[in-house]
Structure 1
């Protein structure tokens, strides 16, 4: 992605959007140039997608680069930490097909699903925190006590950010009691090409956007190219 481009959008979600479907959550197409159909960049990109679909599923994360000079392409994929290897592979394969339809001949793009993200570029972005490619989603339902709920949400996500920082997979999930019969569920995750410290900084920054993205909402997400969080009042990860 171009470091000078501003990719920022608010996306609005109904209660269960993306939970039962396999449609992408969102995507961005870069402005770093176009490639020629049938040319070497397209060939390298297809090889890269194939490589990532085999490399990533066992661990849930993969990076790779194919080609040389102006025809070189760099790619990264991350699956949600609770997703099985088979579902991870399926998501990556689907993402590769879909992003080429949504961003035809673009030399860079990023696409997110519930189960994975896929990013590629003609520029080496490995190890660089991506805070430009980012969007919000939130539940349309409001809570009855937004002040207390927002405080609990921030408390849970900050705890999970610290746990993700310490986790080998830069991933954490957890719950917090909201009352006698209600719980808050949360998730934080980073891509594993960035450093541990940068993961924590990335999560801290997007958690700081809670008032903007999801003030008093029953659920919400800030989803970026290097880190993301999600919270809901129902379970949404695999046990």
Structure 2
């Protein structure tokens, strides 16, 4: 069971009750453009071409962007797979994401969708190289830790280090790490940006996301801030494939 609460500027708060709730289903999506296109229009044909382009470009490296069409019918898009995801699973996620967006945002000129393994975004407005601070949502585990103040400090310390690591001399703009809290407990973290951002903007995006964790995930056993340009997360179990 999930709890949802809409808030302004396309920001969504999502309460994650347990990890098994995330499977092959989308985490969330936004149909953010107020503009529509019509069936059999040039924009629709260009969107199809863009999706076909991303199917080809994304899986080999886990990221791809592109534009198709001209002037008012031009479509811009990108897709990003989580840094540890295999080429096969990346391809599957991008294909599923494009199909799901068609169903959830029919004829909308701009939309974004997130899965555990990938995100896909397209728009009639050029957005490459710009931090997307509008499309964002939170996820958290409803269970709390005992010493919340100390735990929160450890979370911030781990994720701040991963922000530095992901944005400095890292072509994938991706980093994972862990810290031992005690003999039985390990804290795991992840940070990732879309690769159209510069290293400076990646860090800016990640640091902003980290600063929002207290708003959603104070003393929670797990939490994420997920956006259109970057995401951070932590859990008390391994997050990625090794």
TM over 0.5: yes
Equivalent residue, structure 1, for 2:3: none
Tell me which of 126, 135, 144 is aligned to 1:133.
135
- 1:153 CA displacement: 0.4
- Provide the secondary structure at the position in 1 that maps to 2:178: strand
- 1:17 CA displacement: 4.3
Equivalent residue, structure 1, for 2:180: 177
Report the Cα distance in structure 2 between the residues aligned to 1:30 and 1:137, rounded to whole angstroms. Answer: 20
Equivalent residue, structure 2, for 1:103: 105
Tell me which of 67, 78, 81 is aligned to 2:80.
78
Which string of whole-angstrom CA distances, capped at 9 and with x for unpartnered residues, describes residues 146-205 of structure 1?
Answer: 001000000000000000012110000000011011100000000010111000000011
Corresponding position: 1:201 with 2:185: no
- 1:31 CA displacement: 2.7
Cα RMSD between the aligned structures? 1.0
Which string of whole-angstrom CA distances, capped at 9 and with x for unpartnered residues, describes residues 118-156 of structure 1?
Answer: 000001101110011000000011101100100000000
More divergent stretch after superposition (24-33 vs 129-138): 24-33
Corresponding position: 1:87 with 2:89: yes
- Provide the secondary structure at the position in 2 that maps to 1:37: coil
Contact conserved, 1:157 with 1:186, CA < 8 A, in 2?
yes
TM-score with structure 1 setting the length? 0.96
Which string of whole-angstrom CA distances, capped at 9 and with x for unpartnered residues, describes residues 43-96 of structure 1?
Answer: 110110111011011110000000011111000100000000110000000000
Tell me which of 206, 216, 222 is aligned to 1:219.
222
Where do 5+ consecutive residues of structure 1 fail to align? none
- Provide the secondary structure at the position in 2 that maps to 1:128: coil
Contact conserved, 1:18 with 1:114, CA < 8 A, in 2?
no
Report the Cα distance in structure 2 between the residues aligned to 1:18 and 1:45, rounded to whole angstroms. Answer: 31
Contact conserved, 1:79 with 1:115, CA < 8 A, in 2?
yes
Contact conserved, 2:33 with 2:123, CA < 8 A, in 1?
no
- 1:208 CA displacement: 0.5
Equivalent residue, structure 2, for 1:46: 48
In structure 2, the CA distance between the partners of 1:205 and 1:64, relative to structure 1 (3 Å rule), is: same
- Provide the secondary structure at the position in 2 that maps to 1:12: strand
Equivalent residue, structure 1, for 2:119: 117
Q: How many equivalent pairs are there?
A: 234
Where do 5+ consecutive residues of structure 2 fail to align? 1-7
- Provide the secondary structure at the position in 2 that maps to 1:81: coil
Report the Cα distance in structure 1 between the residues aligned to 2:139 and 2:68, rounded to whole angstroms. Answer: 33
